[in-house]
Chains A and B, each alone.
Chain A
């Protein structure tokens, strides 16, 4: 069975500081990895995805993530955050040809002025 662990439930950070949101997964087969963002009272929006190829993936809003197969991680990073980045961030994994996503429990990113 696949599982996704987001190690930090809450991450406070000051505006313009860098941030890393951690995600680890457990799977013995090939995976596809995703990060979604959820603003209050809204649905989930795709930030970026890793399907294959380069392990460094760039997404929207200046976010990027690096797939590390040996450490089974897919951490999300942004070099300089803005107040508007305050939201819940979810890591998700999808096995091989399956269409089902398994989500982590989420990380609340709060950007402080």
Chain B
């Protein structure tokens, strides 16, 4: 079974630029999550989708972050404009009804 795919793996941008990350979950997983992991910290949930609907986006900085999951499969997370404090690893995970979450390799974003 293929795992969660993410791209790109690394991205370097200047502050105030925009960036987008892509995630393809495990086939059949209805739930998709985006996490932000700042160096030295545990992952923090940004947004959770159930199929193509948003379940929880309470910790998403909506003035600059947006996410969508068209057709309930792939998802894109966008940052516009980026700030220095957005430097982090962005993890995508997909989940099942048995409460397990499967994580992708992440995208390491560096904002200079």
- Which residues of A are at the interface with B, using a C-beta cutoff of 8 A? 4, 32, 36, 41-46, 49, 51, 90, 92, 94, 99-106
Instruction: List B residues at the A interface (Cβ < 8 Å).
Output: 4, 31, 40-45, 48, 50, 55-56, 91, 93, 95, 98-106, 108
Which of A4, A32, A44, A103 counts the most chain B CB atoms within 10 A?
A: A44
Inter-chain CB contacts under 8 Å: number: 53
A102 CB contacts on chain B under 8 angstroms? 45
CA distance A45 to B4 in the complex (A): 12
The answer on a CB contact under 8 Å between A99 and B95 is: yes
Given contacts A99-B55, A105-B41, contact A42 B105 (CB under 8 A): yes
Complex contacts, A51 vs chain B, CB 8 Å: 98-99
Closest 7 CB pairs of A and B: A103-B42, A43-B103, A44-B103, A43-B105, A43-B104, A103-B43, A105-B42
For residue B45, which residues in chain A have a CB less than 8 angstroms away from its CB? 100-102
Question: Chain A: which residue is nearest B100 at the CB level?
Answer: A46
Decide: A103 near B91, CB < 8 A? Known: A41-B105, A43-B106: no
- Tell whether, in the assembled complex, residue A99 and residue B48 are in contact, meaning their CB atoms are under 8 Å apart: yes
